[in-house]
A and B are shown apart, each in its own frame.
Chain A
Amino acid sequence: MANFQVNKTYQEINDKIKRGQAVVVTAEEIIDIVRKKGEAGAARTVDVVTTGTFSPMCSSGAIINFGHTKPPIKASKVWLNQVPAYAGLAAVDIYLGATEPAEDDPLNKVYPGEFKYGGGHVIQDLVAGKSVRLVAEAYGTDCYPNKHVEKDITLKQLLNAVLFNPRNCYQNYNCAVNLSNRTIYTYMGPLRPRAGNANFCTAGQLSPLFNDPYYRTIGIGTRIFLGGGVGYVVFPGSQHNPAKPRGDNGIPLGPAGTLMVIGDLKKMNSRFLVGVSLLGYGCSLSVGLGIPIPMLNEEIAHFCAITDEHLLAPIVDYGHDYPAGTGRILGHVSYAQLKSGSMTLDGKEVATVPLSSLVRAREVAGILKDWIAQGRFLLGEPVELLPADGDIDCIHTASRDS
């Protein structure tokens, strides 16, 4: 273990939070503090740094128990507002995925499809308190004779409703361009031909995993802001890959770490869980997620203070390379450049826009900061940190990270 000048424990920080004495700042605010006080000075002064992100996270969904009916049903097919949910679980347990479109959606038959309503929209409607039509079908058994159920449900009436997202909060992401000669419709938004625009999708220096690039404080049991309520990191997310190439500053140069997260849907807020319709691509759910980073030592301060100028996104051609799975990267561009509104690619100026909402990411980090400062949110010490070395078995995804 390295020798640090500052050594704090989760227990000490939580005691300060309980007394209402913890010093909490956002990942944007810590930058100036480290500049003025140095890393050790900042680590002594500040106890927690809050991060935030808000953007479409396709690998999201809800586990719902819709309650036993009379006579009881062992549902085998279930729809919520005509969106199919997976019912291959116990009698009335279902999983509703964010990207599932309504069954009667024309999809891309009329290209580009609009994908007006899907699983993400159902989740948003439920959280907003709206009534949702449930239809369940079953083959019928001696113990579960009911073969058809139709009823309106609200989140309040449900016994259990849990947001469970297998892969959220990517650590870094592609900056998408389209070098082909026609407009294409991707999960990174519509991309105009001949690099007409470049779309990126992280909150940069405010984004959770940029602030703890080696997962020194994040792991199983980390308590987080999730969808406006409280959630937990339960495992590394699917496709978690710490072995992705990193810059000299330790920051991954492409999509690397991911999180599997869970939280009580009933306590969430539809401002931070918003259904998404991506033209020509499909439905999704935008998730507000924030992680508090405990200032255990000056190394944590060092990583939290890395600015957008030193966070680099890989530029990927979604016109050819991405659909072909070549894994080719056209170059790297800093988030400072991307946020400025334009970048240069092959001598040509290209307009850059984020798909992730920085405004709402700031809101997430701000709310989490208030919760902790007011003593309403304690840090969860991970029982195990996320894998941080390259020795773990990681599948080769050839930059296919959606």
Chain B
Amino acid sequence: MAKKKVVLNFPPHLIDQPITYRLVKDYDLVVNILRARITPREWGRMVVELNGNGSRLDEAMNFLADLGVVVEPLAGEIQWQEERCIHCTACVAPCPTHALDLDRVAMTVAFDRERCIACELCLNVCPYRAIEMAFE
């Protein structure tokens, strides 16, 4: 079994296609939608965790690419610049998944990339601009 978190970017002409259904039905993947924004006539964006057989997962990736869905890796999208962080922890309150969390003894912030769903709520909240979005 393989697991990966990716960002799926849907061009406007694919918005009305049941693509998640195909991933589940045809490729036998467990699709966990972490975040989605689908609006008519605009690029759609969905953050998903895909879980399934390794080769089926690769086939699903090819299927998406052939359709025209732009697949981006999630890891590394949000970057926590530790040297700029002063551990004020303003980011901890809005973080919905505890990816940004506080060690209550040392009172330091830690960033767990695995938990991050790139919701971007932390970006502007940081008074020290220590959290950045990496554009590839």
Q: Which A residues are within 8 Å of any B CB, using their own CB?
A: 54-56, 112, 114, 116, 189-190, 192, 196-197, 199, 274-279, 284, 286, 339-341, 351, 353-360
Tell me the smallest distance from the CB of B34 to a CB of chain A, in Å: 20
Please report the C-alpha to C-alpha distance between residue A339 and residue B102 in the assembled complex, in whole angstroms.
10
Chain B residue nearest to A198 in the complex (CB): B93
| Further pairs besides A279-B127, A360-B87: 4, Cβ < 8 Å | A112-B124, A279-B124, A286-B88, A341-B104
Q: With A189-B93, A353-B90, A355-B88 in contact, do A276 and B102 touch (Cβ < 8 Å)?
A: no
Please report the C-alpha to C-alpha distance between residue A366 and residue B35 in the assembled complex, in whole angstroms.
44
Contact of B86 with A357 in the complex, beta carbons under 8 Å: yes
Contact of A358 with B87 in the complex, beta carbons under 8 Å: yes
Please report the C-alpha to C-alpha distance between residue A277 and residue B102 in the assembled complex, in whole angstroms.
21
For A274, what are the chain B residues with a Cβ–Cβ distance below 8 Å? Answer: 86, 128
Q: With A189-B90, A192-B94 in contact, do A358 and B124 touch (Cβ < 8 Å)?
A: no
Partner of B107, one of A189, A199, A286, A359: A359
For A286, what are the chain B residues with a Cβ–Cβ distance below 8 Å? Answer: 86, 88, 127-128
Q: With A339-B104, A339-B107, A359-B108 in contact, do A353 and B127 touch (Cβ < 8 Å)?
A: no
Contact of A114 with B107 in the complex, beta carbons under 8 Å: no
The answer, yes or no, to whether B89 is at the interface (CB within 8 Å) is yes
For B127, what are the chain A residues with a Cβ–Cβ distance below 8 Å? Answer: 56, 189, 276-279, 284, 286, 355
Contact of B129 with A55 in the complex, beta carbons under 8 Å: no
Contact code string B106-136 (vs A, CB < 8 Å = 1, else 0): 1110000000000000001101110000000
Interface centre among A197, A199, A274, A359 (most CB of B within 10 A): A359
Contact of B89 with A353 in the complex, beta carbons under 8 Å: yes
Partner of B92, one of A275, A278, A279, A353: A353
Please report the C-alpha to C-alpha distance between residue A351 and residue B106 in the assembled complex, in whole angstroms.
17
Contact of B94 with A354 in the complex, beta carbons under 8 Å: no
For B125, what are the chain A residues with a Cβ–Cβ distance below 8 Å? Answer: 189-190, 279
Contact of A354 with B89 in the complex, beta carbons under 8 Å: yes
Please report the C-alpha to C-alpha distance between residue A289 and residue B8 in the assembled complex, in whole angstroms.
47
For B88, what are the chain A residues with a Cβ–Cβ distance below 8 Å? Answer: 55, 286, 354-357
5 contacts between A and B (CB under 8 A): A190-B90, A274-B86, A276-B128, A341-B102, A354-B88
Please report the C-alpha to C-alpha distance between residue A192 and residue B121 in the assembled complex, in whole angstroms.
12
Please report the C-alpha to C-alpha distance between residue A106 and residue B86 in the assembled complex, in whole angstroms.
26
Contact of B129 with A277 in the complex, beta carbons under 8 Å: yes
Contact of A351 with B124 in the complex, beta carbons under 8 Å: no
Please report the C-alpha to C-alpha distance between residue A192 and residue B125 in the assembled complex, in whole angstroms.
12
Tell me the smallest distance from the CB of A111 to a CB of chain B, in Å: 12
Chain B residue nearest to A350 in the complex (CB): B93
Please report the C-alpha to C-alpha distance between residue A357 and residue B92 in the assembled complex, in whole angstroms.
13
Tell me the smallest distance from the CB of B74 to a CB of chain A, in Å: 24
Q: With A56-B127, A114-B124, A279-B124 in contact, do A358 and B107 touch (Cβ < 8 Å)?
A: yes
Please report the C-alpha to C-alpha distance between residue A189 and residue B125 in the assembled complex, in whole angstroms.
7
Contact code string B43-78 (vs A, CB < 8 Å = 1, else 0): 000000000000000000000000000000000000
Contact of A357 with B87 in the complex, beta carbons under 8 Å: yes
For A197, what are the chain B residues with a Cβ–Cβ distance below 8 Å? Answer: 93-94
Contact of A116 with B129 in the complex, beta carbons under 8 Å: yes
Chain B residue nearest to A197 in the complex (CB): B93
Chain A residue nearest to B101 in the complex (CB): A341
Contact of B87 with A192 in the complex, beta carbons under 8 Å: no
Tell me the smallest distance from the CB of A188 to a CB of chain B, in Å: 9
For B106, what are the chain A residues with a Cβ–Cβ distance below 8 Å? Answer: 359
Tell me the smallest distance from the CB of A214 to a CB of chain B, in Å: 28
Please report the C-alpha to C-alpha distance between residue A190 and residue B86 in the assembled complex, in whole angstroms.
18
Contact of B129 with A340 in the complex, beta carbons under 8 Å: no
Contact of A192 with B86 in the complex, beta carbons under 8 Å: no
For A114, what are the chain B residues with a Cβ–Cβ distance below 8 Å? Answer: 124
Please report the C-alpha to C-alpha distance between residue A333 and residue B90 in the assembled complex, in whole angstroms.
19
For A354, what are the chain B residues with a Cβ–Cβ distance below 8 Å? Answer: 88-89, 107
Tell me the smallest distance from the CB of A28 to a CB of chain B, in Å: 12
For A276, what are the chain B residues with a Cβ–Cβ distance below 8 Å? Answer: 127-128
Contact of A340 with B107 in the complex, beta carbons under 8 Å: no
For A275, what are the chain B residues with a Cβ–Cβ distance below 8 Å? Answer: 128
Chain A residue nearest to B121 in the complex (CB): A190
Closest 8 CB pairs of A and B: A197-B93, A358-B107, A353-B89, A359-B87, A276-B127, A357-B86, A189-B90, A357-B87
Chain B residue nearest to A203 in the complex (CB): B107
Contact of A355 with B86 in the complex, beta carbons under 8 Å: no
